[in-house]
Amino acid sequence: MKKVPFLLLCFLLLAGQAGAQSVGNRDSLLNFFEKTRINLLKEVEGLSTEQMQFKPSADKWSVSQCLEHIVLTEKMLFSMTKDSLEKPANPERRNEVKMTDDQIVAGILDRSFQAKAPEGLQPTGKYADPSEAIKDFDTQRKDILDFLNKVDVDKLRDHVSDSPFGPINAYHSLLFIAGHTGRHTLQISEIKAHPGFPE
């Protein structure tokens, strides 16, 4: 596979056009975060150590590795979003953003395009127990949700930045965080559906 920088690949994923769900305000953003959390819990709850460490093939991730990648990446993406919000707002660029919220969500959830994570986000398989992973995930998510409950959501769209596929705003960046978790939850489901997955 041709190597492309991770963030470029992230935005490549945003090219999906199929509508996924309607988003746009604080409640819908919070609901999207909650939905991705619930779906993740459903997929990993009660898995054994053997099931957590099972890999469909040598070059594929295990459930444990997917969970670790989710935790690492949510932290990184949230930090990047907060950093972008420390820069001056540029509401004059709001109309430059052509990507819709639904396209953002549809693009990140599209598993037909796969990419290699950078070294800093490569998992080692540290989680033998799903409850340990979810504990770390929830601790991290709490910081994000606290932020979402305090921030002026409309003002997020006043922070526009350039991506390889055009301008996006900070609201889109937050959608991407939850969507990334949803994407790898789908990957976990694929692992569990493998014929060799332990009973």
Residues of the chain with pLDDT under 70: 1-23, 165
Strand bridging mode 160-163 / 166-169: antiparallel
| DSSP per position, the chain | -----HHHHHHHGGG--S------SHHHHHHHHHHHHHHHHHHHTT--HHHHH--SSTTS--HHHHHHHHHHHHHHHHHHHHHHHTSPP-GGGGGG----HHHHHHHHH-TTS--PPPGGG------SSHHHHHHHHHHHHHHHHHHHHHS-HHHHTT-EEEETTEEEEHHHHHHHHHHHHHHHHHHHHHHHTSTTS--
On whether the CB atoms of residues 44 and 136 are closer than 8 A, the answer is no
> Distance between CA atoms of 54 and 141, rounded to whole angstroms?
26
Q: Looking up tokens 């990419």, which residue turns up? A: 115
pTM score, two decimals?
0.86
pLDDT tens per residue across span 99-116: 899 988 998 899 987 878
Strand partners, 163: 166
> Distance between CA atoms of 166 and 11, rounded to whole angstroms?
9
CATH topology of domain 6-192: Four Helix Bundle (Hemerythrin (Met), subunit A) (1.20.120)
pLDDT tens per residue across span 24-53: 789 999 999 999 999 999 999 999 999 999
pLDDT of residue 19: 34
pLDDT of residue 196: 97
pLDDT of residue 99: 87
pLDDT of residue 120: 87
Whether the CA torsion 122, 128, 130, 133 is positive or negative: it is negative
pLDDT of residue 10: 53
Tokens in use for 94? 């709001």
The full set of domain ranges for the chain reads 6-192
Q: How many residues in the chain?
A: 199
Provide the percentage of residues in the chain whose pLDDT is more than 90: 70
